[in-house]
Amino acid sequence: MRLIHSRSRKLIVFPTLMLLTLSTLVTANPPAPTVVTLSGTFQAVNNGLGDQTEPDLDCNLTAYTSQDGQGLARIHYSAPPSNTDFIIPGNGLDRQPDVNGNRIGFTEDTPTGPIVAVYDATTLFRTDIPGANRSHPAIGGDLVAYEDRSYFAAPNQSELGVYDLGTQTDIRLTNDSLFDKNPAISPTGNAVVWEKCQTDGFGCNVYGAVQTSPGVFTTRALTTAAGENRSPDTNGQIAVYISDRSGENDIYFQPVAGGAETRIAIPGDQRDLSISGNLISFESQPQNQTEYDIFVYDLNTATLYQVTNTPADEFTDRIAYCNGVGRIVYVSAGTDFDVYSFTFQLPSAPPPPPSPATEINNLIALVRSFNLTPSLETALVGKLQDALAAVNAGNTAAACTSMSSFISRVQSQSDKKVDPDEKSQMITSANQIKTHLGCP
C-alpha cells in the first residue's frame, strides 16, 4: 500500500481514515515577515528504491519508514558518527516511528489489530506495549501517548491513552465518543497535545493535558474557535498548531498550561508543524504555487528562515535543535518518496548596541583625542558630562538638551579651530546618542 500524505502531523495508512480537506476561503493577509535564507548542509538519509516516509528524529537519532513496493514496511534508523542504516526487528508491517532520546516508538500491524512498540537503539531491546488496536505513538521521557481504538467498533471513535514505561501502567486521557487522534508529546513527557474531532474527521480542536503529578493529568481545550484546528506539537511549555480560521492555514501557538494565543501571519498555507526548543519547522505553500517548501520560525527573534526552494514537494518535516546545532528531516516527492536531512546553525545575533552612558563616555574620549584648545575641550566635555549625569539620574529630557547643546557648540566652530572631519565625527556620534535616548 502506498502511503497517502495528508495535512495531519504524520502520514496516514489507515484505509478508513478520510483525507482532510481544509477551507480555501480567501481573506486579506497581514504583512509577511521578512524571509532569510538559512544556510546549512543537505544530505540524503535514504533515496534508494521504494518509498521512504514518516521521518522523525531527536538530536542525532533519525528514524523513518521504508516501503519496498511489495507490501512490506520496516522502520530504519541511523545515528552519527557512522550513520549506518539499521532496521528495527519487526514483522514487515511497521510504521509511524516517533523518536525520543535513544528510543523509537512505532506501530506494528498484527492479525489482531495494530500494536504500539518501543525500541531502544542503545540496548537493542524492544518493548511491546500491552493491548491491541493502538497506533500512532508519540514518545517523551518514559511516556508513550497513542490512539486507542479498543473501546469502540467505529475506527473514528478513538480515544487517547498514555503508557508509562517506568511503571508499566496505562492512563486513559479521553473518555468520549469523538475522534481523538494525532497525539504529540513533549520531550520530557510533561505535556500531551492532540486533535479532538467529530467522527467525520472535521470540526477539530486542539486539546492539551499537563502532567501535574505521576500519572495525573489536567486536560483542557486549547482551541474552541470555528474552523479546523490541527497538527499540534509541543515543547512542554507551548503548544503549536495549524488553524484555518483566518481563511488559510496559519500557525498559532499558546502556553500549553493556558494563556494568550498568538498567530504567526505568513501568507499561503502552512502544514506539518514540528517544534524543538524555540524553533518551529513547517512547510509553507506560497500563494499561486502548488509545491511546499520547508521553513523555520524562531520564536525568540520572530525571524522566518527558508530552508528549501525546489520544484519538488517537501513534506512531513521534523526538527531537533540540540547543543546549538539544528537538524531537520523531511520527505521529498519525486519519482518516489525519499528522506533527506538538513543540518544548520542559526546565524549569530548582532551584539546589542552600547548603552547611552557608554556612548557618551566614548564620545568624551573621542573629544579629548582631537587636540582641541583647552577652553574648547573643557566646554565640550562639560556638556557631555552634564548629559551623562542626566542619563545616570534617569532624566532623559535633560540629557537630550545637553546633547543638543553639545552639537550646537561643535557646529559653531570654524574649520580653523576644529578639523572638518573631526567635527563630522563628533556630530555623528552625538546624533546617534540622541537617537538611542529617544530624543525628539
The answer to whether residues 269 and 249 touch, using CB atoms and an 8 Å cutoff, is: yes
Domain 35-344 is classified in which CATH homologous superfamily? TolB, C-terminal domain (2.120.10.30)
Predicted local distance difference test score (pLDDT) of residue 10? 36
Model confidence at 80, in pLDDT bands (50, 70, 90)? confident
The residue extents of the domains of the chain are 35-344, 356-437
CA distance 37 to 246: 27
Rounded distance between C-alpha atoms, residue 326 and residue 343, angstroms: 6
Burial 393-419 (b: 16+ CB within 10 A, else e): eeeeeebbbbbbbbbeebeebeeeebe
Strand partners, 296: 281, 305
Reference 59, options 77, 37, 44, 36; nearest CA is 77
Look at residue 265 in the predicted model and tell me its pLDDT: 87
- Sorting pLDDT into bands at 50, 70 and 90, what band is 379? very high
Q: Residue 32: its pLDDT value, please?
A: 60
pLDDT of 247 above 80 = yes
Q: Is the pLDDT of residue 13 over 70?
A: no
pTM, full prediction: 0.76
Q: What is the DSSP string of 373-431?
A: -HHHHHHHHHHHHHHHHHHHTT-HHHHHHHHHHHHHHHHTS-TTTS-HHHHHHHHHHHH
CA distance 429 to 385: 15
Residue 86 is predicted with a pLDDT of 96
Q: Are 210 and 257 in contact (CB under 8 A)?
A: yes
Q: Which helix (H) or strand (E) holds 267?
A: none
Detail the DSSP E strand segments found in 141-261. Answer: 143-148, 159-164, 169-172, 179-185, 191-197, 205-213, 216-221, 229-234, 238-243, 250-255
Q: What is the pLDDT of residue 23?
A: 29
- Provide the grid cell at 437: 535616548
Nearest Cα neighbor of 256 from 187, 199, 207, 320 is: 207
Residue 163 neighbours by CB under 8 Å, 6+ apart: 116, 129, 143, 144, 146, 169, 170, 171
Whether 195 shows a pLDDT value over 50: the answer reads yes
Cα distances (Å, whole numbers) of residue 227 to 223, 224, 321 = 10, 9, 32
- Alpha-carbon gap, residue 117 to 106, rounded angstroms: 6
Instruction: Please name the residue that has the C-alpha cell 474552523.
Output: 227
What average pLDDT does the segment 121-135 reach? 96
Copy the grid coordinates of residue 404: 543638543
pLDDT tops 60 at residue 25: no
Rounded to whole angstroms, what are the CA distances from 346 to 299, 305, 395?
13, 10, 39
Q: Is the pLDDT of residue 335 over 90?
A: no
